[in-house]
Homo-oligomer: A and B are copies of this chain.
Amino acid sequence: MIIIGEKINGSIPSMAKAIAEKNEEHIKNIAVAQANAGATFIDVCASVEPDKEVATLKWLIDLVQSVTDVPIAVDSPDPKVIAEALPFCKKPGLVNSISGDKVAGTDKDKIDFLLPIIADTKWEVIALLNGGTGIPKSAEDRLKVFDLLMAKAKEYKIAPSRFHIDPIIEALATIDEGGIGMVVEVMQEIKRREPTIHITGAVSNISFNLPGRKLVNQAFAVLAMNAGLDSAIFDPLNKDLLGMIYATEALLGNDEYCMEYIQGFRQGLYPAAPPAKK
């Protein structure tokens, strides 16, 4: 499982406070904690006023790189900011994210703006299946965006394995019928069309507006992994969710003799649970 550690994000109140107060120790500690919990990428999102965003990203990226070698996921709603921030990174990481949305002040969408920039690099990229006219409602329409995206990938000679496709995880509470059937279908079909591609998503979106969100997030993570999700942005310090992910890898046959699951348990990555009764 590719873990994109989500904690260095100015939209989280405690992180906004640390950014505002220039609390370098806090940010470095969070970076190290996520690296120790097995993060594959450390997401860095400033979430400050536009005129401060590039400088804040540089400061945050430098801080993270001063304490860990884990590559950065450069996270901004503005593709121009992403383009400016990529050179701050010592090694290729993950662009978060592209979609069919237009880039303000240009005639390009985020796909055509950012793919040429990373084409001849080793950067990976999160691509949302949003064609630029809002979130497509059907599996068919999301897969059309996917096909378009793969055509662009071919054009720019970017291997599918560098893409993390986000099929767009919506709140279960707002789905009329069929539960997560549609998004599962999208995941399975993408994996069928491009076996080397990664499938990612914001797992916790699923539980928006429901009580006991933790339960719904955990059960969803298991079902999504079963459908092909192999990358996700979440808090790796959430021991329950991390434990569920390791357990699922073992159940799905991706962890011979449960060695990684058992090792994670020994390292204290999950909550210490008593043996189940009977």
Cβ-defined contact, B258 with A173, below 8 A:
yes
B-contact 0/1 string along A247-276, CB 8 Å cutoff: 110111111111001100110001111111
Residue ID in chain B nearest A6 by CB atoms: B278
Cβ-defined contact, B204 with A219, below 8 A:
no
Contacting residue for A262 out of B210, B218, B240, CB 8 A: B210
Bound together, the chains give a CA A243 to CA B216 distance in angstroms of 9
Please indicate the chain B residues that have their CB under 8 angstroms from the CB of A243 in the complex: 212, 215
Number of interface residues of A (CB under 8 A): 58
Bound together, the chains give a CA A273 to CA B206 distance in angstroms of 16
Given contacts A223-B222, A223-B226, A262-B211, contact A216 B180 (CB under 8 A): no
Cβ-defined contact, B278 with A12, below 8 A:
yes
Cβ-defined contact, B180 with A251, below 8 A:
yes
User: Whole-angstrom distance from the CB of A251 to the nearest CB of chain B?
Assistant: 5
Contacting residue for A12 out of B238, B255, B277, CB 8 A: B277
Please indicate the chain B residues that have their CB under 8 angstroms from the CB of A218 in the complex: 218, 244, 247
Bound together, the chains give a CA A121 to CA B250 distance in angstroms of 42
Cβ-defined contact, A177 with B9, below 8 A:
no
Report A's interface with B, CB cutoff 8 A: 6, 9, 11-12, 172-173, 177-181, 204, 206-207, 210-220, 222-223, 226, 235, 238, 240, 243-244, 246-248, 250-258, 261-262, 265-266, 270-278
- Given A6-B278, A177-B256: 15 more A-B contacts, CB < 8 Å: A179-B250, A179-B255, A181-B253, A204-B277, A204-B278, A206-B251, A210-B258, A211-B262, A212-B265, A215-B240, A215-B247, A218-B247, A223-B223, A223-B226, A226-B226
